[in-house]
Structure 1
Amino acid sequence: METSAVLRVLGLLREAGCEVWVGGGWGIDALVGEVTREHDDLDLLHRVEQEPLLITTLENAGFAEQPGVEPGRPARFVMKDDEGHELDLHPLRFRPDGSAVQHADDRGGVFHYPADAFATGVIAGVPVNCLSVAQQIAFHQGYEPRDRDRHDMARLRAAFGTTTW
């Protein structure tokens, strides 16, 4: 997914009043302030109460929900447009203290986001909400890393001097 498509989606959602945070590879690129690799999709976290508005906004922009995604709802869902731009969407339920919870599966598992998991980064000079360095590192634990995971963690080490991973 190219930078212009990412900024278009983020702009549409911002104009509609949807608060989102960039995660995954684009989130890491936002933290380091430059595009460091190609991305197949855009991971976005959003407020669960804004989901109807988010979906309507994306549908009006030509995106449609994709069936058969595992894990699917309530953990996440995927929308794609005719040009092949894919959005991996993660609903968050925020708590009064600024922390959030995301369903991990349909069996009651959850991911916890501390209040400091939310940060600001930059994509092509545009400030964007994204996941923090610590949260990105936390999400890259507990599985066999792929080449892109090793690349992403190396970018965080180079930019922020992180020693984990």
Structure 2
Amino acid sequence: MLDLIFFEYRPMLQDLLTIAVCIGAYFWGSAPERLVAITWVLVFEVPGRLYRAVSEDGLRLTGTDAFLATTDVVAGIVWIGIALYANRNYTLLIASMQVLAMTAHVARSLADTISPVAYVTMVAAPGWFQLIFLGIGILMHRKREERYGPYRDWRIPINIPLLTKLPRYPRGPRP
């Protein structure tokens, strides 16, 4: 059981999955897919690598890791906002997985008897599901656009230049 959690190549596999899904979101996704991917990179990948580079301790498993808790809360706020306004259903799944990761920190803060393995599992496992949900969401978005043509990204019109001016790449010939 613990071999699955502490699998030697797990971080490398997650990095490869992250790269593939985020690149896919940029080229084949629309605004919600891109924002979810951008959030992943800007909240987890870049600060996480900087934290591991400057931190001597690495991740804290004996108590609540303030860095992990902060990044999870920031990502949770952004992804909940995206989920509420995006014209996509899978973003709700991504936001709900992030809420699970956020509650893991609360549970760890309230009960010191939670084992470090359980804490790591509650914090890390939702990330795998989020990447898988984003990948499936990109594929479903692409399939829907091929079948029905372009459709709106948001449930209500949003006139924020950053969101409305994202370039759209040619998707290939329409059937």
What is the TM-score with the length of structure 1 in the denominator? 0.24
Structure with the higher fraction of residues in strand conformation: 1
Higher helix proportion: 2
Larger Rg: 2
Greater relative contact order (Cα 8 A, min sep 6): structure 1 or 2? Answer: 2
